[in-house]
């Protein structure tokens, strides 16, 4: 269970966010047929409504009235809070460590003929990496199904024996016009050497040790 899953609806930040509309939580509970007490209950509700809508089912009128003005903003808040937690930092930092291993392997002359590596994850995985590397404002906070963050290496005359690294974000499986990500502090063309220096302070290279030192009540926020 993540930090945000344990966030009660009477959390001060949520109360400030809802303001005079806080009473709507009782309204939602009544129509859902269950008492909602956690922010993650709203996330699950939004996920359910989105899934039903995608397969052609109609969103109930009570939920439709709240969908754009209340439910989606709360879902966005949930993701925003999640990506600022220490847990998100650990998740993204350990993944970045693995990515750097792949990039180093690809960029070194060797007998390795592998041309591509594929990692599978969740929307929180993509969002955590985006927040960690500082390009979260360039992609949607709520990513779609089958979105892809592609990391590509190119030979570049400007970089000599170094490689240029590019990040591309595909919004979904049908996206043929991906977003070209600009990595902060890495000018174009962004070299592997420069990106490695940026990544050094962000990687988590000992996941087990960090997790053993992590306590569930340790709600630290990091500036990413």
Return the pLDDT at 96. Answer: 94
Return the pLDDT at 218. Answer: 46
Q: What span, in angstroms and rounded, lies between the C-alpha atoms of 180 and 166?
A: 8
82 band by pLDDT with thresholds 50, 70 and 90: confident
pLDDT single digits (tens) 29-53: 999 888 888 888 898 899 999 889 9
What lies within 8 Å, CB to CB, of 190 at 6+ separation is 164, 165, 166, 183
Question: CB count, 10 Å around CB of 107?
Answer: 17
223 band by pLDDT with thresholds 50, 70 and 90: very low
Domains in the chain: boundaries: 4-83, 93-212
The crossing angle, in degrees rounded to 10, of helices 123-133 and 72-83 is 60
- The model's pTM is 0.80
Contact status, residue 27 vs residue 53, Cβ threshold 8 Å: no
Q: What mean pLDDT do residues 176-193 have? A: 92
Q: What mean pLDDT do residues 20-28 have? A: 91
């Amino acid at each position: 269970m993540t930090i945000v899953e344990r966030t009660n609806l009477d959390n001060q930040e949520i109360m400030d966010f809802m303001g005079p509309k806080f009473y709507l939580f009782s309204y939602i509970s009544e129509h859902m047929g269950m008492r909602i007490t956690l922010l993650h209950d709203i996330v699950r509700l939004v996920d359910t409504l989105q899934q039903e809508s995608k397969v052609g089912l109609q969103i109930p009128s009570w939920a439709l009235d709240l969908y754009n003005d209340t439910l989606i903003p709360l879902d966005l808040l949930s993701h925003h809070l999640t990506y600022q937690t220490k847990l998100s930092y650990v998740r993204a930092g350990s993944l970045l460590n693995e990515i750097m291993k792949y990039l180093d392997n690809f960029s070194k002359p060797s007998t390795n003929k592998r041309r591509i590596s594929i990692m599978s994850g969740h929307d929180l995985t993509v969002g955590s990496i985006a927040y960690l590397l500082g390009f979260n404002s360039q992609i949607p906070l709520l990513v779609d199904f089958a979105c892809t963050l592609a990391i590509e290496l190119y030979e570049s005359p400007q970089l000599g024996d170094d490689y240029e690294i590019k990040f591309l974000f595909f919004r979904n499986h049908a996206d043929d016009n991906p977003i070209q990500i600009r990595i902060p502090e890495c000018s174009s063309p962004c070299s592997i050497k420069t990106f490695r220096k940026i990544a050094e302070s962000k990687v988590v290279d000992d996941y087990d040790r960090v997790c053993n030192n992590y306590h569930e009540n340790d709600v630290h926020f990091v500036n990413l």
